[in-house]
A and B are shown apart, each in its own frame.
Chain A
């Protein structure tokens, strides 16, 4: 670029000649130069601004386009994510303590119809009615043609049924995927598992919710997506549960009982190894249970947890335990058992018109099960202390266990606690509680007096409860209960090798309507701990209205009904739980080798 001089010599000389000021020329030139400079700078700045604006425009356009695309497109799962942590909408499995499946999910299909797509409603209805026995062709035709466009036909289908529906070839029938709750063991542990049903239903999925038992009580845990791949481990042992149910069912049938229940519990941890209530139902098809008039007789009713019964003489050990703990008696103290004996005008009688003489030792009162003896011990303790003690044993509260039914099983007892309550409560009458509470209370005695809280969940750690009675008292109680089996009312329970200790109880059944008792109808209970030298397990067996008809005279005391059933259960489960049998020399001589037989004839 050629620079224009500010003072061009020619013009300066010319101006000087004319007598003008040459500085004016310089100023004019300077101004012109500045103008030119300004113009070029402006042009450059303008260009830069446009470029910048273009950049911004492009940037914002890209963002805007992306936003529009995201908003307009259908959402899809990010498939590139690493699949390590498993999150699914499935309901968690339930397994027993050794990992065997008690409840799991199965993929099936539901069936629905879009009536607008139906080609031939009448023929479709006939074909469906042929596949599903519960459908009626006439109803279906009416429902297909009454103007609705959508209708559910079946909640779940078996694969065979699905194939048959495919074979109809009707385009208006659709399948939706369904996760179904499956209980592979059928009726086994039915009352523990409860059952599940569909709640909110959509075409592509349905929500499974627990309707009873553990499924309902642990709903949040089971339906938590983050924990759905970890199964819930129960304390139940499938083998023990099956054995207990089998023996109990046989006992119930032989003794013509209306119902039966049994609980097997670990004394140290309170873990329930088996809990059965009969009659039972199939949790896979809970709806199939026919309704009955008396809720307490329904197969759905859990007699072991939900039912509150007067448990009779099994309560005597609690009166004795408390009296010993308070220092009022020792096992050898003589107790007045003389008849007649009246409290508040009510005569207290021994069972079946027995008379045990003027006095009996405390140990004998338990062994022969004297009501009058227990009543005297109860009176020594006094009502207030007795009620507090029974509460501390957990007998007056609803049972604490992971079942939804437990919450409603409130214990029944007279309020206010009168003298007659004290007397009757010492031998287990006038007070009705859940069988599970009784099992827990016996576990507390077996556990050396430290309170045991029952649980259905298996865990390696368990909280240690408060001490309720002293260790010495607990030990003495077990020794006394051992005497009940060796030479008392429960001699049938003396299973060799397992040193069973227990207490029988026979209570008249309370009327379901009104006050008083049903004549000739009893609830028989046998509560036991074994082995007596080092209690490990508690077994409680109860039979509703049994009668033993093998002998010349029908018998319905616990010693002839609940006790033999409990003994058979202990005989069967003893080897299963891995208890080392404590045998003496003579019983060891009875070992006989298995018969030698050829295995198979190949």
Chain B
């Protein structure tokens, strides 16, 4: 029994040593990978900052103003003025036109033509 246990524990030790060896190398590989990724992130952050700066530079009000002035006629632009602004409630909705039914109605014999409003209510 005893020698068997000895051999078993020895084998377990070899196995765990092998496992630890492999873990060590995978960890190191992962760390290296992560360092690379972090460098990449830092690089991308720099690039984003650069793009943002460039975006801000291209959208600077003086440039946009010049562009608007250049294309003023072509785009049919108009200077903004107070009179152009209003509340949504001020906008008139198109009036509901009454529907005129003409001709005879087949089913209801003896009925005279009637005006039916848009909402369906009858107008005598």
Q: Which residues of A contact B50 (CB under 8 A)?
A: 106-107
A184–B56 CB distance below 8 A: yes
The 8 Å CB contact of B75, one of A246, A495, A574, A599, is: A599
CA distance A575 to B79 in the complex (A): 10
Q: Which stretch in A55-63, A352-360, A581-589 binds the other chain?
A: A581-589
The 8 Å CB contact of A581, one of B57, B62, B75, B85, is: B85
CA distance A576 to B79 in the complex (A): 12
Contacts A188-B62, A590-B83; is A101 near B53 (CB within 8 Å)? yes
Q: Which residues of B contact A581 (CB under 8 A)?
A: 82-83, 85
A107–B83 CB distance below 8 A: no
Q: Which residues of B contact A576 (CB under 8 A)?
A: 80
The 8 Å CB contact of B53, one of A104, A241, A600, is: A104
Q: Which residues of B contact A188 (CB under 8 A)?
A: 60-62
Contacts A496-B83, A581-B85; is A595 near B76 (CB within 8 Å)? yes
Contacts A79-B34, A185-B60, A581-B82; is A107 near B46 (CB within 8 Å)? yes
Considering the complex, which residues of chain A in the window 100-134 have a beta carbon less than 8 Å from any beta carbon of chain B?
A: 100-101, 104-107
Contact with A along B47-73 (1 / 0, CB 8 A): 001101111110111100100000001
The residue on B at minimum CB distance from A497 is: B82
Give the bracket for the number of chain B residues in contact with chain A. Answer: 20 to 34
Contacts A238-B61, A597-B76; is A591 near B84 (CB within 8 Å)? yes
CB of A34 to closest CB in B, whole Å: 35
CA distance A571 to B81 in the complex (A): 7
Q: Which residues of A contact B55 (CB under 8 A)?
A: 101
Give the bracket for the number of chain A residues in contact with chain B. Answer: 35 or more
CB of A384 to closest CB in B, whole Å: 45
Give the interface centre of B35, B59, B60, B73 by most chain A CB atoms within 10 Å.
B60
A239–B61 CB distance below 8 A: yes
Contacts A574-B82, A600-B74; is A83 near B56 (CB within 8 Å)? no
A571–B82 CB distance below 8 A: yes
CA distance A184 to B56 in the complex (A): 6
Contacts A106-B49, A581-B82; is A80 near B75 (CB within 8 Å)? no
The residue on A at minimum CB distance from B38 is: A83
Contact with B along A71-101 (1 / 0, CB 8 A): 0000000011001000000000000000011
The 8 Å CB contact of A587, one of B60, B73, B83, B87, is: B83
Any A CB within 8 A of the CB of B31:
yes
Residues of B within 8 A of A (CB): 31, 34-35, 38, 41, 46, 49-50, 52-57, 59-62, 65, 73-78, 80-85, 87
9 contacts between A and B (CB under 8 A): A184-B60, A580-B85, A581-B82, A587-B83, A591-B83, A591-B84, A594-B78, A597-B74, A597-B76
